[in-house]
Structure 1
Amino acid sequence: MSSHDQTGAELSAAFDDEAVLIVGHGSRREKSNEQVRELAADLESRLGLPVDAAFLELADPSIDDALAALATVVSRVTVVHCSLFAASHVKNDVPLAIEQARSRYELEIDNGAHLGVHPALLALLDDRVAEVEVKLGVDRESDDVAVVLCGRGSSDPDANGDVYKLARLLYEGRAFDRVEASFVGVTDPRLEETLHDLSKHRPDAVIVLPYMLGDGVLTRRVRDWTDEFDDEYPYVDALAGDPLGTDSRLLDVFADRWQEARTGDVEMSCDTCKYKVDLEGYEEDVGGARAMLRALAHQESHADREDVDDEPHVHDAPEKHVAVCTNQTCADDGSTTVLERLRQAVRDAEVRDVHVTRSSCLGQCGDGPIVTVYPDGIWYGGVSPDDTERIVSSHLERDRIVSDLVHQTL
């Protein structure tokens, strides 16, 4: 049974001393910010739990301010993303803010997934198309109706790929002539190009869906381009639909994402995330919250060591310190071999400014061999000699955590 099938009273009784935080992007248009706050209020009624709203930028409160306020009244917060796709905000900015809040407040924080691909969103998109069909006087069963699902566009291929997946799912099982994916900016194909290509197929109608939450600048741009296309190609009726807005079906998605985070069942598409794996054309895009935390800590620790001429500081300590537990239990599990293999892999890869040392007991007996990497604060567990090259090539060379080996993060 999904969370939105439960009553608010049942959930409130089961989860005292907890709250939910919806995180939106933030907009210069207060109307868009109010939509996020409205969704938060509606979700509060649905779950029977306190639900606050926060924003990444351009609006208040910030994530940190919101978590600071919640830390005074609850002991656990679940973060729900008001983001359609998992791009840098979801993968980097929000996790970074959460990690910083965890270090500042006595607060347990569960981080959920973005809205992503969900049956409720497909049903909502189908209804948005139907609304425009009525306005145009067309019927997908008897007319050639083409649909363009237009996202904002991202530099993250994983996020752009989800637009195509949604477009395909919207096409499956429905009588549309075709459903195309397109974007407002950043990546191709742009909406103008997609509309021009569609004109060659001479459909009876083209319906453009702005796949956005708020009715903001980008939505107006989609409408303007669609109107221009309609004027330029008089043999095709074209009209843009409405954005997702505050439709109640969004609450179904939020409730599911809350439940997933609350039970530790968050699914992210890490196998196609440019911050986790090498993707053709994105090899230089390293990141993730851990990499940024390391960079921030590194920068702060040396900020007072610049001289008056702004000459770069000279390190008298390694950039990364790798410690391998060689106490009896870990040693019995092969940690001494792991230590030597790590040292050899570092030498072979010619990784600079990395110091690999042995450590006494790290208090994780039975989960070893344990390998720690600082200042990143990553502890790997159950490390075998065969894992050492991955730790060096992924983590030490490119700041990409070997996620399947992570024992804990500090």
Structure 2
Amino acid sequence: MTKDTTILLIGHGSRGREGNKETINFAAQWRERHPEWRIEVCFIEHAEVLLDEGLDRAARNAKKVLAIPFILNAAGHVKMELPHALAEARQRHPEVEFLVTRHLGMGREILAVLQGQLDQQIKAMSVPDPMTTGVILLGRGSSDAGANGELAKMARWIFEDNDHELVDLAFTGVTWPRLETVVQRQVKLGMMQIAIVPVYLFTGVLIERIKEQVARLQNQYPQVSFALGTHFGFDKGIFDLLDSKVNGDIEEGGMLECDGCKYREAAEEEHLHDHSHTAIGGGGCAHGHDHQHEHGHSHAHGCSHKHD
């Protein structure tokens, strides 16, 4: 990492001030690990410093900007808004090279963090029988099926690596099932303990809502022991994952999977902001726009594009 490179940490942004403060505090701790690095922070929404300003700040006195989407799952913000902001920043600062890593994602690094969270909850319940202890991964929820599918992969991996009879997935909003429904199912299937693992980096309005939900569920099912985890943005594994991205995990050409995609750009012109994009095989892609459109079509160049 050269002195003329700025690392821009791009958070989602939270309606609750504490969530954004934690992201800023994370960046401060990351700087302490790497005092020779120039690290800036901005947010996609619900914050004072948003994408355009963040990219402009990062470009000052820099020859290169390395943007890191500090987000677990790639949905519309990462696939639409970030590539658009990067394209405009490149026009505003033609002398600066803008590179971008992929978002944090749902890989083995995040699995290790989630497993650590689960292990702590199981210990807090005095290590009960896994066959009567259900696990629920609780995500934010998205209109992007690919983002939800990434979390489903984590649930499967947790199941494969442990002895729990049930490992389920629930969401706090947008999509289904919700936490109450999954808890009801696990209780009906005989679970005596339930470990709930929130898949969140930092605190916020939804973290507080989850605590209230679990308190109500404990009253509803007094015979069941509940253990609730918390957000994990300050876990050492997150710092290590970001270090690996800075040290070489950059997509060829410095592009996100939707950065430079002509179908994304066409969607922007039509003001379609809900963008689903999943890489297929050798560079092909699939798009789904969850908005009304009068026609459907496919393209013979290895990329399918669907308008619902």
Please say whether Structure 1 and Structure 2 have the same fold, judged by a TM-score greater than 0.5.
Answer: yes
Aligned pairs for 1:211-360 (under 5 A) are 211-260=199-248, 262=250, 264=252, 288=264, 290-292=265-267, 294=269
Matches of 2:226 and 2:139 in 1, distance apart? 18
Mark the CA change 1:266 to 1:98 in structure 2 (over 3 Å): closer, same or farther: closer
Aligned residues: 278
Shift of 1:151: 0.5
Matches of 1:208 and 1:59 in 2, distance apart? 29
Mark the CA change 1:235 to 1:241 in structure 2 (over 3 Å): closer, same or farther: same
The residue that corresponds to 1:147 in the other structure is: 135
The residue that corresponds to 2:114 in the other structure is: 125
TM-score when normalising by structure 1: 0.62
Mark the CA change 1:265 to 1:148 in structure 2 (over 3 Å): closer, same or farther: farther
Aligned pairs for 1:1-400 (under 5 A) are 11=1, 15-47=2-34, 48-105=36-93, 106-140=95-129, 144-260=132-248, 262=250, 264=252, 288=264, 290-292=265-267, 294=269, 390=300
* Secondary structure at the counterpart of residue 161 of structure 2: coil
Contact 1:204 1:237 (C-alpha < 8 Å) held by counterparts: yes
Mark the CA change 1:159 to 1:389 in structure 2 (over 3 Å): closer, same or farther: closer
Contact 2:8 2:58 (C-alpha < 8 Å) held by counterparts: no
Mark the CA change 1:132 to 1:104 in structure 2 (over 3 Å): closer, same or farther: same
> Of the two structures, which has the highest relative contact order with CA contacts closer than 8 Å and spacing of 6 or more?
2
Mark the CA change 1:268 to 1:172 in structure 2 (over 3 Å): closer, same or farther: farther
Mark the CA change 1:145 to 1:265 in structure 2 (over 3 Å): closer, same or farther: farther
List gaps (5 residues or longer) in structure 1: 1-10, 271-275, 277-285, 297-350, 352-387, 400-410
The structure having more radius of gyration, on CA atoms, is 1
Q: Between Structure 1 and Structure 2, which shows a larger proportion of strand residues?
A: 2
Deviations 1:231-259 (A, max 9, x none): 21222111211111322211122223334
Contact 1:167 1:180 (C-alpha < 8 Å) held by counterparts: yes
Contact 1:147 1:179 (C-alpha < 8 Å) held by counterparts: yes
* Secondary structure at the counterpart of residue 113 of structure 1: coil
Contact 1:96 1:292 (C-alpha < 8 Å) held by counterparts: no
List gaps (5 residues or longer) in structure 2: 272-294
Deviations 1:199-252 (A, max 9, x none): 012222101111111222211222222222222122211121111132221112
Mark the CA change 1:207 to 1:21 in structure 2 (over 3 Å): closer, same or farther: same
Contact 2:98 2:254 (C-alpha < 8 Å) held by counterparts: no
Mark the CA change 1:51 to 1:234 in structure 2 (over 3 Å): closer, same or farther: same
Mark the CA change 1:140 to 1:44 in structure 2 (over 3 Å): closer, same or farther: farther
Matches of 1:119 and 1:389 in 2, distance apart? 34
Contact 1:113 1:266 (C-alpha < 8 Å) held by counterparts: no
* Secondary structure at the counterpart of residue 390 of structure 1: coil
